[in-house]
Amino acid sequence: MANKDEPDSGGEEKALRDLKHAEADLRHAEEEVHQAEEELEEARKHKDEITIMVDGVDHRVRRGMWVVRDLKARLGIDQAKVLAEITPQGLKDLDDNAEIELHEKEQFMTHARSGGSS
């Protein structure tokens, strides 16, 4: 018969096992929270991005207002070229200093500057 002054070693072992399981569960939950936070941050980065097409190629850019020359730089477009918006009425050349508001699926093309002095 067990002495009342001695701790129940079976209960103590079970408590230690339960504690180890709880600690493992906590680590797993912390890893899941960390992964979810990373996924959320990635989604936040891309929520304001849209796809536009330039010269038949899709590009992901930030939605909203752009200065044309900055957009050309972001897309790697030669600054000597003209960026033109493709509209139902035809091409609309964009001044490099103009501000435009970009929306999803807008289409553009580039072309050489025309005219000039000789």
Domain assignments of the chain as residue spans, ordered by start:
9-47, 49-112
Q: Which CATH superfamily is domain 49-112 in?
A: Beta-grasp domain (3.10.20.30)
Please name the residues in contact with 93: beta carbons below 8 A apart, sequence gap of 6 or more. 82, 83, 84
Per-residue model confidence as pLDDT tens digits over 54-109: 999 999 999 999 999 999 999 999 999 999 999 999 999 999 999 999 999 999 99
Complete DSSP assignment for 78-98: -TTEEEEEEETTEEEEE-TT-
Residue 83: both structure tokens together: 């960026």
- Tell me what the pLDDT averaged over the chain comes to: 88
Q: What CA–CA distance (Å, rounded) separates 112 from 105?
A: 23
